[in-house]
Structure 1
Amino acid sequence: MTAPRDTPASRRTRANGDGTVYQRKDGRWEAAGYVLAPGNTRRRVRVYGTTRKEALAKLTEKIANSNRGLPVPTSQGSVAAYLTYWLENVAVHHLRENTHTRYTACVHRYLVPGLGKKKLTKLTAKDVRTWLNQPRTTCQCCTRGIDARRDQPRCCAAGQYCHKLLSPLTLTYIHSVLKSALEHAVCEEEIPRNVARNVRTGTPRPRRFEPLTADEARQLLTSAGGHRLHALLELALHTGLRKGELLGLRWEDLDLDTGAAAIRQTCSAPAQAGSPRCPPRRRASERRIALPSRCLHSLKLHREQQQREREAAGTTWQHDGHVFTTVQGRPIDPTNLTRTFTTLLRKAGLRRIRFHDLRHSTATLLLEQGVELVVIKELLGHAHIGVTATVYAHVRLRLQRDAIDTLSTALDGRETTEMARSDGDEPPPCTALVR
């Protein structure tokens, strides 16, 4: 009878559930065993190695993951195939239209060319990190073929690199899109873990905003006095409404008698995409705000002007209740509003800023006037007061410095008064009020 130690390694008996390990005719070692598969089923997998120890280690790892409840990946497709599936079947039902458009551009412009050929199951954190480091130093004008499509090349073909690199904020956005897609792949048990979460891109600096001063705001409103969207600018500066909230505002949401407005929907998609109305993203954005008398007067004039435009348009008028529309009554495209705003800034002789900076201007001016932070939070529709305090921390710091300087001036004045009182026989002056 042959002793167990004399049995060849390829024929040694393994315990039940440990799988089998044997040497193939080509010299490689193969290990096979049953592991957990999606749907609470079991599936036989095979792994290979140059030595028996290597093949056995791979099989042991898969069995250990199976014992922890992690099913074996079933997807054999590429990253590009899964990203396309995710955009067309998952993200389209959970994202707003403009967000889905940005995600689609990010996937087809950066992720598919960079990681699309990789197998989804074989994608590693090292692959993601290595690829994210490339756009930091690679000219995108040349990588994406922008220079090749020009009539007169002025970058790679001309030997002059424009160094059009991706910003840290864009890289962080690309990374977040990839994480979202891989997270859904984990939920569908296509892959065991989200490798993109193991990559740290760093926190980019927040985008600086340049709010208008009180003088610049008055200059803008004065210059846009005769424009058909003067009421929109005045409402934006007095209430801090977002661009989408202004364009989604309807006459039924306004109460011009009591001076109040109900923010119930927003408009962020292009007008040609159908109905641009959609509820606000957060519950706190649905709110009622008070309207100042200047805005009420401007809105009444705007309604009269809109009625004249309706009579002039005749049968081509397509009004559906929006406050701010085109001359034909259609909703205003957000991109066209940005172009109009840039033109009005140039006409007023002001520096170029974003339309969203009008919202920052409102909050900054309110803080400088001593308005409580909780009131500004309710007006802007922030979910938490911490958001308001963080975004406008620099304004609060300046107000603190002004208060400290005021207190120092008061204390210095009191000391001078006491010295004058001790040296002379004059009666003590009345106490000055500290504002």
Structure 2
Amino acid sequence: MRRGGFEDAFAAESALRRFLEGRRLGFDADPHETVAAYLTKWLKGMEFLLKPTTYARYRAYVLGELIPVFGKLRLEELAHDHIAAYTHEQLEAGRGRQAVYHCLATLSSALGSAVRTHRLPFNAAQPLPMRRPRADERVPWSAEQAVTFLAHCRDVDPAFADLFEVIVGTGLRKGEALGLQRQCVRIEDRVMFIRHTLSAVDNHELVLTAPKTKKSRNWVPLSERVAAALQRAMDRSTATANGHVFQDAHGKPLHPAAVRRRFHELRKQAGLPHVTIHDLRHLAATIALEGNVSMAVISKTLRHSTLSTTANIYSHLTWEVAMAAVNTIEARLHLVEARAQYGTDAPADSRPLPNPLFSHAA
């Protein structure tokens, strides 16, 4: 192998050492390898390590964004300044912060692999030149609006009414509900098991993949209302062991895009404000919180990976619960103080004693 174009003998010898070191460790350290060549090779290596939907997203970022921008640079030439300039350019042009962040995260993942295999000495994308955008605070429907929506669906499209009844009643993700198979539902035991999620690769090919996290692969209890909706759905569907509970008129699983379109059609017909199907999952959590269900139980029901995930997502909904907690503490302290002053005959609703910290005499 011959390579030229180095500034001096020292640069040539350094490149030769890197190349030979790479050969010993099992990777290509060609000093003239471009970012495009490296990213193409990295993407191919990730094909069987990622979920099909995740791989499709990575492929879109690599082929549609990263290679056109950075592809001609030599891999060792790619610097943090290049990445920062691209970030500012995209944001100033009005590009969505979420899209830019995910593109940068993909590049960082690819360069991180190069560092771990000793192909590069450092990751030029770290630290990222922008913070991770905060998710918009979700404002789900109220329970009354959910009832209005479900009633309208039952009148207009009973099959979709049962699908949305299951999502609202259990907090399933859309893909989990669409990927639910008959063998995973036990109506008599009032339980179902989440084993798959249905996704569309490139919005076209339907694939069954593993649930989002390890804890997502779990059992979910069924209320009488949800069990009835599942039974109706299974009565309509093709009765095969691995058949999907929710199917279209041809016995095939429902396409996520078709479900999304139908949801918004029904929502508009019912005169309800805009929410997403995923917001029905948040609606389930909101109703449970309003019913004083503990955060730990809600986290278990929604199958979040950690309790902190649940707390972070629904922190804005826990104000009343938190206030109830501190008010309970205050009431208990007042009662003990009243009994200390008036004896055990002090009524439970005794007025609190003046607090010297806030009295004028103090």
Fold match, TM over 0.5?
yes
- Residues 79 and 116 in structure 1, CA contact (< 8 A), matched pair in contact too: yes
SS of corresponding position for 1:225: helix
Partner residue of 1:155?
none
Q: Do residues 350 (structure 1) and 281 (structure 2) align? A: no
Q: How far apart, CA to CA, are the structure 1 residues paired with 2:333 and 2:149?
A: 40
The CA distance in 1 between the partners of 2:21 and 2:64, in whole Å, is 38
How far off is 1:33 after superposition? 4.2
| 3-state SS in 2 of match to 1:269 | strand
Letter matched to residue 264 of structure 2: T
Query: What residue in structure 1 maps to residue 82 of structure 2?
Result: 127
The 8 Å contact of residues 289 and 318 in structure 2, kept in 1 or not, is answered as yes
Aligned partners of 2:253, 2:28: CA distance in 1, in Å?
50
How far off its partner does 1:83 sit?
A: 2.0
| Structure 1 residue 272, shift from structure 2 partner | 5.2
The residue aligned with 1:74 is 30
Query: Which of these residues, 334, 338, 360, is aligned with residue 282 of structure 2?
Result: 360
Q: Which runs of 5+ in 2 are unaligned?
A: 1-6, 351-362
Distance of aligned partners of 1:382 and 1:326 in 2 relative to their CA distance in 1, 3 Å threshold = same
1:96 to 45, 51, 58: 51
How far off its partner does 1:74 sit? 2.2
State the shift of 1:86 in Å. 2.2
Question: Aligned residue for 1:337?
Answer: 259
2: CA distance, partners of 1:296 / 1:41: 59
Deviates more, 1:32-41 or 1:232-241: 32-41
Instruction: Note the alpha carbon deviations across 1:408-427, whole angstroms, 9 max, x for none.
Output: 79999999xxxxx9xxxxxx
Alignment of 1:238-277 (within 5 A): 238-270=169-201, 273=205, 276-277=207-208
The residue number in structure 1 matching 2:95 is: 166
How much does 1:292 deviate? 0.3
Preserved CA contact (<8 Å) 1:231 1:298: yes
Kindly indicate whether residue 217 of structure 2 is the aligned counterpart of residue 286 of structure 1: yes
Q: In structure 2, give the amino acid aligned to 1:261.
A: M
Distance 1:390 1:330 in 2: 37
CA distance in 2: counterparts of 1:72 and 1:96, whole angstroms: 26
Amino acid corresponding to residue 271 of structure 2 in structure 1: G
State the 1:207 CA deviation. 2.6
Q: Which amino acid aligns with 2:73?
A: K
RMSD of aligned alpha carbons: 3.4
SS in 2 for 1:261: strand
Displacement of 1:328 = 0.5
Alpha-carbon distance, 1:302 to partner: 2.3
Give me the whole-angstrom Cα distance separating, in 2, the residues matched to 1:217 and 1:401: 26
Give the number of the structure whose alpha-carbon radius of gyration is greater: 1
- Percent identity, aligned pairs only, is 29
| Alpha-carbon spacing, 1:220–1:397, altered in 2? closer, same or farther (3 Å) | same
CA distance in 2, matches of 1:262, 1:354: 24
Decide whether the 8 Å contact of 1:377 with 1:385 is kept in 2. yes
**Structure 1: tracts of 5 or more residues without a match:** 1-27, 44-68, 139-164, 311-317, 416-420, 422-427
Counterparts of 2:128 and 2:326, CA distance in 1: 44
**One-letter code of the match for 2:149?**
L
Tell me how far apart the structure 2 counterparts of residues 372 and 241 of structure 1 sit (CA, whole Å): 18
2:227 to 282, 286, 296: 296
Deviation at 1:240, TM superposition (A): 0.3
Secondary structure, aligned partner of 1:327 = coil
Whole-Å Cα distance in 2 between the matches of residues 365 and 409 of structure 1?
26
Q: What is the TM-score of this pair, normalised by structure 2?
A: 0.81
Mapped pair 1:391 → 2:313: yes
Deviation at 1:167, TM superposition (A): 2.0
Q: Report the AA paired with residue 278 of structure 2.
A: H
**Residues of 2 paired with 1:42 and 1:332: CA distance?**
49
How high is the TM-score relative to the length of structure 1? 0.69
1:66 corresponds to: none
Q: Name the SS for the 1:277 alignment partner.
A: strand
Instruction: Quote the offset at 1:79 in angstroms.
Output: 1.6
Q: Aligned-pair distance for 1:390?
A: 1.2
User: Does the alignment pair 1:178 with 2:107?
Assistant: yes
1:223 corresponds to 2:179: no
Deviation of the 1:370 alpha carbon: 0.4
Alignment of 1:303-342 (within 5 A): 303-306=234-237, 320-342=242-264
Q: Number of paired residues? A: 336
Name the structure 1 match of 2:358. none
Q: In the superposition, relative to structure 1, how do residues 198 and 205 fare at CA in structure 2: closer, same or farther (>3 Å)?
A: closer
Q: Contact (CA 8 Å) 2:46, 2:55: kept in 1 or not?
A: yes
Tell me the distance in 2 between the aligned counterparts of 1:29 and 1:370.
Answer: 72
